C-alpha cells in the first residue's frame, strides 16, 4: 500500500475486522520509507481505527476507578498490553486500553476474568500513570500492611535491608513500594519526596513545581522498614537513628538516569527522609527556557564577554539560582577556557568543567577552596554561594585580578546584593570596581496549556494591578489529568537585571542604600521582578495570584 488513505479505504471495505491483517498493514505503513514521508503515525492510525469501529474515548480523570475491577488483572498483564480495568457493569468489564483494537489483549482479559470486555480508548500516558497508582503502589502497600500484621516490625526492617539486592519484585513488598514511588516521582517530574512519620500514620508527599502535595498515606507501622530500605539504598547507616545522615544513589527509569540525594532527620515520631531528585535535564536548560526576556538575555550574555569581574545571581532559597549559574557556565564552556566551580553540594555534573565539592568535616570551605582554585590558573570561577566576608573578599579580589567570577547571594532584590556586600565589610572602592551586573529572580508556576482558560478583567482590577490598558483578558488554571489537577505544569523564571553603570557605581562609592540604587536602576531602564511577573501574566504564562504570592515579600 503506497498511502495510508488506501489502507483506511481497505479496512472500510472489509466485512469483518481482521486484527492480524490490520497490524501487518500498520507495520508496513510505519516503515522507514513512510515515516520519512510523514504519511501517518501509528498513534494517528490507531485513533482513526478506533473512530471507525465506534470505540469511545475517555480520560482517566473522567471516571471513578473501582478497586475491585482493577484487581481482576495482574500488573504484569496490565503493563504488557497497556490497559487497566476501571469499572464493572453487570457481566461486563470496562477496560481502558491504549490500543482497543488489539484482539490478543482483549482475548487475554476475557480468559483471566471470565467476563465480557468493553474496551474504551485512553491515551497511553494516562494508562501508565493509572497502573502506577492503582496496581503497583496500592498492591505494594497492601502487601506491606499484611506483613506488618504478621511479623515484628524490627524483623521486617532487617529483612528489607537484607533482601535489597535480591529479587525485590517477589520477596520484598517494601522495596517494591519504594521503587514504585521513586519511579513515579521521576516520571511526574517531582523535585523532592518527603517520607514523614507521624503520630498515627506515615505520609509520602511530593514537591511538584514548588508545592507539596500529599500522595500516599500509610500505616505508621510501615515507617521503619521503608526508612531502613531507603537508607540502605543510599549507603547510610541503618542502625544509626539518633543523628542526621546524608546519602546518595543513582536511579534508572527506562533509559533515563537520575541522581537521588537523601537526607535523614530524627523527629519525635521517627526518622524523616527527604529525597531530592536531581534531573540532569535541569542543567541543560538554555537562557530562553529559564524564561528570560530577550533584553535580559542579551544583557546577561554581554556580561559573559568580559574576561574579569563579578556577576551575581540573587534570590531566596529555591528560586533557581544554581540552575541559572549552570546555564551561564554552559554559555562560557569551551576548550580554551579553564572553568572551575566550588559548590555545596555539586548537584549536576557538567562536562568540561572542573567541579569541587565543599567538605566541611575535612576543612574544605568555600574560602579555603577558592584560595587553592586561584593557583590552578582559572579563567572562570563559579562559587556556589557567598556566605561570609572571607569568601566575598577572595571572590572580589579574584574578579579584579583577571578572572570572571560567578556566584549567588541570598537577597530579595538585585540592589540589596550591593548593600549586603557593603554590610559584610567589603570596601566601596573594591565593590565599585569588581561588579559587572546582578540578576535577581524568582520561580512562578507555569499554567498548564491543556486546561488554562481566559477570563475578562474589569477596569478597576486593571488599575489596581497596574496592567497595560490594551490588556482585557487574563488566564487562570482549571486542572486536568496532564497537570494532576493543579492547573500548572512546570515553572518559569521572573527576573530583574541590574546593569552596573556609572551612576550606580557612584551610589555604591558613597554608600547609598538599596532603595536609592534600585531607583537609579529603574531610571536606567530596569524592570523589577513585579513588572516582569506582570508581563508573564499578560502573556498567559501564569496567574496573577501566583505572581503576587511569589513576589509578596518584595516591597513594590
In the sheet that holds 404-409, the strands lie side by side as 354-357, 339-343, 380-383, 404-409, 309-314, 435-447, 488-499
Strand-pair category, 309-314 with 404-409: parallel
User: Peptide bond before 345: cis, by omega within 30 degrees of 0?
Assistant: yes
Residue where the block lists cell 518559569: 492
Find all residues with CB under 8 Å of 33, minimum gap 6, and list them: none
Q: Left, alpha or beta for 419 (phi > 0: left; psi -120 to 50: alpha)?
A: alpha
Question: What's the pLDDT score for residue 461?
Answer: 74
Separation in Å, CA 116 to CA 101, 430, 453: 15, 80, 40
Residue where the block lists cell 537508607: 231
pTM recorded for the entire structure: 0.69
Around Cβ 118, how many Cβ atoms within 10 Å? Answer: 16
Burial class of residue 214, CB neighbours in 10 A (0-12, 13-18, 19+): exposed
* Largest separation between any pair of C-alpha atoms in the chain: 89
316 alpha carbon, distance to own chain's centre: 18
Question: What's the pLDDT score for residue 136?
Answer: 67
CA distance 238 to 304: 47
User: 3-class DSSP state for residue 93?
Assistant: strand
Question: Per-residue b/e over 61-75, b at no fewer than 16 CB within 10 Å?
Answer: eeeeebeebbebbeb
Around Cβ 502, how many Cβ atoms within 10 Å? Answer: 9
Around Cβ 280, how many Cβ atoms within 10 Å? Answer: 14
Query: Do the beta carbons of residue 529 and residue 496 sit within 8 Å?
Result: yes
Burial class of residue 478, CB neighbours in 10 A (0-12, 13-18, 19+): middle
- Quick one: which of 489, 492, 493 has its CA closest to 529? 493
CA distance 45 to 488: 31
Q: How many residues does the chain have?
A: 556
Separation in Å, CA 510 to CA 92, 416, 519: 82, 15, 15
Question: What's the pLDDT score for residue 124?
Answer: 85
CA distance 178 to 181: 5
Question: What residue ranges of the chain have pLDDT lower than 70?
Answer: 1-53, 136-172, 254, 468-469, 553-556
Find all residues with CB under 8 Å of 21, minimum gap 6, and list them: none
Query: Do the beta carbons of residue 247 and residue 231 sit within 8 Å?
Result: yes
Q: What values do phi and psi take at 220, rounded to 5?
A: -60, -25
What residues are paired with 312 via a beta bridge? 407, 438
Query: Do the beta carbons of residue 354 and residue 367 sit within 8 Å?
Result: no
Separation in Å, CA 449 to CA 332, 490, 542: 33, 11, 10
Question: What's the pLDDT score for residue 429?
Answer: 93
CA distance 124 to 204: 26
Cα of first residue to Cα of last residue in the chain, in angstroms, is 66
Question: What's the pLDDT score for residue 262?
Answer: 94
Number of H helices, E strands in the chain: 24, 18
Residue 543 grid cell: 496567574
- Report which DSSP code applies to 132: I
What residues are paired with 84 via a beta bridge? 96
- Quick one: which of 503, 514, 371, 378 has its CA closest to 432? 503
Ranges of beta strands (E only) in 50-126 are 83-89, 92-97, 116-121
Question: Per-residue b/e over 155-177, b at no fewer than 16 CB within 10 Å?
Answer: ebbebbbebeeeebeeebbbbbb
Question: Per-residue b/e over 25-48, b at no fewer than 16 CB within 10 Å?
Answer: bbeebbeeebeeeebbeeeebbeb
Amino acid at each position: 500500500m503506497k498511502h495510508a488513505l488506501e489502507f483506511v479505504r481497505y479496512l472500510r471495505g472489509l466485512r469483518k475486522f481482521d486484527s492480524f491483517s490490520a497490524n501487518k498493514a500498520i507495520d508496513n505503513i510505519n516503515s522507514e520509507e513512510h515515516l520519512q514521508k510523514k504519511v501517518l503515525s501509528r498513534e494517528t492510525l490507531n485513533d482513526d481505527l478506533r473512530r471507525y469501529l465506534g470505540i469511545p474515548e475517555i480520560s482517566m480523570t473522567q471516571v471513578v476507578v473501582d478497586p475491585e475491577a482493577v484487581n481482576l488483572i495482574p500488573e504484569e498483564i496490565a503493563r504488557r498490553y497497556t490497559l487497566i480495568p476501571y469499572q464493572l457493569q453487570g457481566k461486563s468489564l470496562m477496560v481502558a486500553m491504549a490500543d482497543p483494537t488489539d484482539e490478543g489483549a482483549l482475548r487475554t482479559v476475557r480468559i483471566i476474568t471470565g467476563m465480557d470486555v468493553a474496551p474504551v480508548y485512553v491515551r497511553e500516558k494516562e494508562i501508565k500513570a493509572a497502573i502506577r497508582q492503582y496496581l503497583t503502589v496500592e498492591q505494594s502497600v497492601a502487601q506491606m500492611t499484611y506483613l506488618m500484621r504478621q511479623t515484628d516490625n524490627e524483623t521486617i526492617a532487617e529483612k528489607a535491608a537484607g533482601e535489597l539486592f535480591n529479587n525485590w519484585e517477589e520477596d520484598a513488598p517494601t522495596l517494591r513500594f519504594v521503587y514504585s514511588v521513586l519511579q513515579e516521582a521521576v516520571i511526574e517530574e517531582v523535585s523532592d519526596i518527603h517520607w514523614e512519620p507521624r503520630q498515627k500514620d506515615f505520609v509520602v508527599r511530593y514537591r511538584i513545581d514548588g508545592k507539596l502535595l500529599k500522595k500516599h498515606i500509610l500505616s505508621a507501622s510501615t515507617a521503619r522498614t521503608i526508612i531502613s530500605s531507603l537508607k540502605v539504598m543510599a549507603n547510610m547507616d541503618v542502625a544509626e537513628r539518633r543523628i542526621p545522615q546524608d546519602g546518595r544513589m543513582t536511579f534508572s527509569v527506562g533509559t533515563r538516569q537520575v541522581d537521588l540525594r537523601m537526607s535523614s532527620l530524627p523527629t519525635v515520631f521517627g526518622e524523616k527522609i527527604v529525597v531530592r531528585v536531581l534531573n540532569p535535564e535541569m542543567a541543560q536548560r538554555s537562557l530562553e527556557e529559564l524564561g528570560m526576556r530577550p533584553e535580559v538575555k542579551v544583557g546577561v550574555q554581554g556580561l559573559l564577554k568580559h574576561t574579569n569581574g563579578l556577576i551575581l545571581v540573587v534570590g531566596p532559597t529555591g528560586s533557581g539560582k544554581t540552575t541559572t549559574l549552570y546555564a551561564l557556565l554552559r554559555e562560557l564552556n569551551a576548550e580554551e577556557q579553564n572553568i572551575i566551580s566550588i559548590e555545596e553540594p555539586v548537584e549536576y555534573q557538567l562536562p568540561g568543567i572542573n567541579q569541587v565539592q565543599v567538605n566541611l568535616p575535612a576543612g574544605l570551605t568555600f574560602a579555603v577552596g577558592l584560595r587553592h582554585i586561584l593557583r590552578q590558573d582559572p579563567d572562570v570561577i563559579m562559587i556556589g554561594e557567598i556566605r561570609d566576608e572571607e569568601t566575598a573578599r577572595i571572590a572580589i579580589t579574584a574578579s579584579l585580578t583577571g578572572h570572571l567570577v560567578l556566584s549567588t547571594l541570598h537577597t530579595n532584590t538585585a540592589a540589596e546584593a550591593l548593600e549586603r556586600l557593603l554590610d559584610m565589610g567589603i570596601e566601596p572602592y573594591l565593590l565599585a570596581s569588581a561588579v559587572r551586573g546582578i540578576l535577581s529572580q524568582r520561580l512562578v508556576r507555569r499554567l498548564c496549556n491543556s486546561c488554562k482558560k481566559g477570563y475578562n478583567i474589569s477596569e478597576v482590577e486593571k488599575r489596581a494591578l497596574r496592567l497595560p490598558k490594551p490588556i482585557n483578558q487574563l488566564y487562570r488554571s482549571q486542572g486536568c489529568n496532564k497537570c494532576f489537577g493543579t492547573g500548572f505544569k512546570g515553572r518559569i523564571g521572573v527576573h530583574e537585571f541590574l546593569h552596573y553603570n556609572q551612576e550606580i557605581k557612584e551610589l555604591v562609592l558613597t554608600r547609598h542604600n538599596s532603595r536609592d540604587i534600585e531607583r537609579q536602576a529603574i531610571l536606567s531602564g530596569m524592570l523589577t521582578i513585579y513588572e516582569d511577573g506582570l508581563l508573564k501574566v499578560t502573556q498567559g504564562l501564569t496567574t496573577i495570584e501566583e505572581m503576587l504570592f511569589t513576589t509578596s515579600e518584595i516591597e513594590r
